[in-house]
Amino acid sequence: MSTQRAQARPLEVRLAGPGDEDTVLRLLLEAFGPYREQYTPGGFADTTASAEVVRERFEIGKVWIAFAGDVAVGTVTALPDDRGYGVYIRSMAVTPRAQGSGVGQKLLEALEADARERGETHLHLYTTFVLPGAQPLYEKNGFVVTRETAPEEWHDMGGVEMEKILN
């Protein structure tokens, strides 16, 4: 499917749940696969997760899948933030052919709307430097870098922590 076809199909974001593990795993592998050589082995394994990890995320957080027509093209997860407040955004992934077509934006909007409905006040995330479109997408949506992270903090890969305060 070309990006043009992805844009032409209606985009729908819906909650995932038990039974969607294979779809989420496929999306993670497809989205992050082109960057595999830039990840450390541990970083790539943590980013692409396992079926067990995805099932755990269904239990403790929320996972969304974006569809262009009937084709799954992206996913994102919202977890309770380990700082004790807010939402931790995890595993934003858009397939290469759908990147640049608004899928990431729609996923982020769905996650943020849900957080606001639940009265959350902060969104928090971490992204590595190897993903060229991630930080600009988040900055466009009001996230600010709170700190750069040293490689030894996460699988020998540097990155940034970002936050958005919801008004």
Residue the block writes with tokens 């985009």: 11
List, in order, residues 6 or more apart from 155 with CB less than 8 Å away.
39, 40, 42, 43, 46
CATH number at residue 71: 3.40.630.30
* The pLDDT of residue 9: 77
* The pLDDT of residue 84: 83
Count of domains for the chain: 1
In tens, the pLDDT along 37-88 reads 999 999 999 999 999 999 999 999 999 999 999 999 999 999 998 888 899 9
pLDDT band at 8 (very low <50, low <70, confident <90, very high): low
Residue 6 in this model has a pLDDT that exceeds 80: no
pTM for the full model?
0.92
Please compute the mean of the pLDDT values over residues 98-113 and round it to a whole number.
97
What is the residue range of 152's domain? 3-165
